[in-house]
Amino acid sequence: MPINADQVRHVARLSRIALTPQETERFTEQLDHVLEYVRQLQRLDTTHVEPAFHVLPMMNVMREDRRAASLPAEAVAQLAPDHQGSFVRVPLVVDDGA
């Protein structure tokens, strides 16, 4: 069943997207092509196809955690645009109303 302009306008309204009549017409055609492709995929027999999470086989791609020396807090603070001692000063993000 092809998608129609009313459905496109409905989805656009739900998404809070304003569409011109030309955009509605173009998106109706484009979405219909996408849905037709999905219908083609749904007709394929996948009974013997294993589910796949990745296209390529993947093993553990995480590296081992290793302890390493880090910069001293004072050196890191020196890199910040505003600091006081070894502390980085940042703008207030929460106002308690007091």
pLDDT tens digits for range 27-43: 999 999 999 999 999 99
Walk me through the domains of the chain, giving residue ranges and CATH numbers.
Answer: 5-42 (1.10.20.60)
Angle between helices 5-14 and 21-42 (to 10 degrees): 100
* pLDDT band at 98; cut points 50, 70, 90: low
Neighbours of 8 (CB within 10 A): 21
Taking the model in full, what pTM does it have? 0.48
**pLDDT, tens digit, 9 for 90 and up, residues 58-78:** 777 788 889 999 988 888 888
- Max mean pLDDT range (16-25, 52-61, 80-89): 16-25
